[in-house]
């Protein structure tokens, strides 16, 4: 180690530089996975909403048809 007197300092500096980079990378990856899960849930909910809207519009049309038929009978 006499040939490389600054080797320990270089290693310590490299560790202090690499640790924050690794932590930041881990945080970014975890946020991406959280966002993907959220997007999947939002897609599922939007599909459910579309189905409910269609069924509601059908029931509304049926109600209107019943009202019209009652008026015609009277």
Q: Per-residue pLDDT for 39 more than 90?
A: yes
57 token code pair: 């519009």
Asked, for residue 52, whether it belongs to a domain, the answer is no
Asked, for residue 59, whether it belongs to a domain, the answer is no
Q: How confident is the model at residue 13 (pLDDT cuts 50, 70, 90)?
A: very high
The pLDDT score that the predictor gives to residue 56 is 81
Asked, for residue 45, whether it belongs to a domain, the answer is no
Range 53-57 average pLDDT: 83
The residue length of the chain stands at 74
The pLDDT score that the predictor gives to residue 35 is 95
In the chain, how many domains are there? 1
Prediction pTM value: 0.53
Q: Per-residue pLDDT for 59 more than 90?
A: no
Question: Burial, 28: exposed, middle or buried (Cβ in 10 Å; 0-12, 13-18, 19+)?
Answer: exposed
Asked, for residue 40, whether it belongs to a domain, the answer is no
């Amino acid at each position: 180690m006499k040939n490389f007197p600054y080797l320990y300092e270089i290693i310590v500096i490299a560790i202090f530089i690499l640790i924050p980079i690794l932590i930041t990378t881990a945080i970014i990856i975890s946020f991406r996975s959280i966002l993907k899960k959220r997007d999947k849930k939002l897609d599922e909910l939007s599909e459910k909403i579309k189905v409910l809207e269609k069924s509601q519009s059908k029931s509304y049309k049926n109600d209107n048809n019943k009202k019209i038929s009652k008026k015609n009978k009277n």
